[in-house]
């Protein structure tokens, strides 16, 4: 079944353990999302947000349980915005989920869902998970994951650190590179950032998939010019004991930040380039 946002309102029960559903949901578009999520709307729009539905459950004068459902255009972007904020815990709802301190988030197909019950109680937790399962089960189809994720080495990958994106401001929020878009990231450049740990020292791996080789070459040159002007063969010691480097492979650009040694930097660059250590 193909769902519109309002269908989700109909799917949710009118009452759960004394908590009653609001009569009318809130609906928000790109133009009005700022009125609902003050200071956070930019992130959703960066992931190609289309529309949101907000549903409240109330019980006497207790705090509300708020259900927010976001149509993110594609499963890639639904996964992307989920990956931006998640940590490690999986509530096993939808295609990926996290529950922490009264907040459940999950994604399935093109939808991203947030259910908040604060302050958390055991009763509210049960209701939040029940509502989450109802919504996830109502979405019959599953969406694909971005194929770029398959390029990430599994060795020493920190669980929950993988983030899919295609916006340089989102990237800067995770790992600051430059005020300018020196890597030329946009909707046509699927990108993944992940964190690794070797001998208790963490470092970042960034992979960008450009539409063609020429585009990748321009981004590579721009990155070296603005971020690694002193690099030799695409590698430089940016801080004592911290190495950053990049490598091209056809239309892929691979960047590693803050590797604890030059040898480790080269090892991971080689892995992504050729698929083996």
**3-state DSSP helix/strand/coil % of the chain, to nearest 5:** 30, 30, 40
Q: What is the predicted pLDDT for the residue at 87?
A: 82
pLDDT tens readout for residues 25-61: 999 999 999 999 988 999 999 999 999 999 999 987 7
Question: CA-to-CA distance for 171 and 255, rounded, in angstroms?
Answer: 13
- Domains, in order of start, for the chain: 5-138 (3.40.1000), 147-274 (3.40.1000)
- Higher-pLDDT residue of 275, 207: 207
Nearest to 116 by CA among 40, 192, 167: 40
What does the block give as tokens for 80? 């992307």
Q: Is the dihedral of CA 39, 44, 46, 51 positive or negative?
A: negative
pLDDT tens readout for residues 95-140: 999 999 999 999 999 999 999 998 899 999 999 999 999 999 999 9
pLDDT mean over 192-210: 96
Q: What is the predicted pLDDT for the residue at 268?
A: 94
pLDDT tens readout for residues 26-36: 999 999 999 99
Is residue 273 very low, low, confident or very high in pLDDT (cuts 50, 70, 90)?
A: low
Above 80 in pLDDT, residue 225? yes
Question: CA-to-CA distance for 112 and 68, rounded, in angstroms?
Answer: 8
Give, rounded to a whole angstrom, the gap between the first and last alpha carbons of the chain.
Answer: 44
Percent of the chain past pLDDT 90, that is, above it, reads 86
Q: Is the dihedral of CA 142, 148, 154, 159 positive or negative?
A: negative
Is residue 10 very low, low, confident or very high in pLDDT (cuts 50, 70, 90)?
A: very high
Q: What is the predicted pLDDT for the residue at 1?
A: 46
Question: What count of Cα atoms within 13 Å lies in the side-chain half-sphere of residue 38?
Answer: 1
What does the block give as tokens for 70? 């976001």
Question: CA-to-CA distance for 35 and 56, rounded, in angstroms?
Answer: 17
Alpha helices in the chain (DSSP H): 5-11, 33-36, 41-46, 75-85, 122-138, 168-174, 213-226, 262-274
């Amino acid at each position: 079944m193909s769902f519109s946002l309002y269908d989700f309102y109909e799917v949710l029960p009118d009452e759960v353990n004394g908590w009653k559903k609001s009569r009318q949901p809130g609906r928000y578009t790109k133009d009005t999302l700022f009125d609902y999520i003050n200071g956070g709307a930019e992130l959703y729009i960066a992931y190609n947000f289309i529309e949101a539905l907000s549903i409240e459950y109330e019980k006497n004068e207790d705090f509300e349980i708020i259900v927010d459902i976001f149509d993110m255009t594609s499963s890639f972007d639904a996964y992307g915005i989920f990956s931006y904020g998640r940590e490690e815990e999986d509530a096993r709802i939808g295609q990926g989920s996290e529950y922490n301190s009264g907040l459940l988030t999950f994604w399935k197909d093109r939808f991203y869902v947030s259910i908040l019950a604060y302050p958390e109680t055991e009763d509210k937790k049960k209701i939040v998970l029940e509502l989450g399962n109802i919504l996830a089960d109502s979405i019959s189809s599953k969406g694909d994951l971005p194929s770029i994720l398959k390029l990430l080495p599994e060795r020493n990958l920190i669980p929950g650190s993988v983030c899919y994106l295609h916006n340089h401001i989102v990237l800067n929020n995770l790992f600051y590179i430059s005020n300018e878009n020196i890597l030329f990231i946009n909707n046509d450049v699927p990108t993944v950032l992940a964190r690794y740990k070797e001998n208790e020292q963490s470092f970042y791996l960034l992979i960008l998939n450009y539409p063609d080789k020429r585009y990748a070459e321009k981004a590579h040159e721009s990155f070296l010019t603005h971020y690694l002007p002193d690099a030799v063969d695409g590698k430089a010691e940016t801080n004592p004991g911290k190495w950053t480097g990049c490598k091209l492979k056809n239309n892929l650009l691979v960047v590693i930040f803050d590797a604890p040694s030059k040898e480790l930097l080269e090892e991971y660059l080689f892995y992504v380039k050729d698929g083996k250590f």
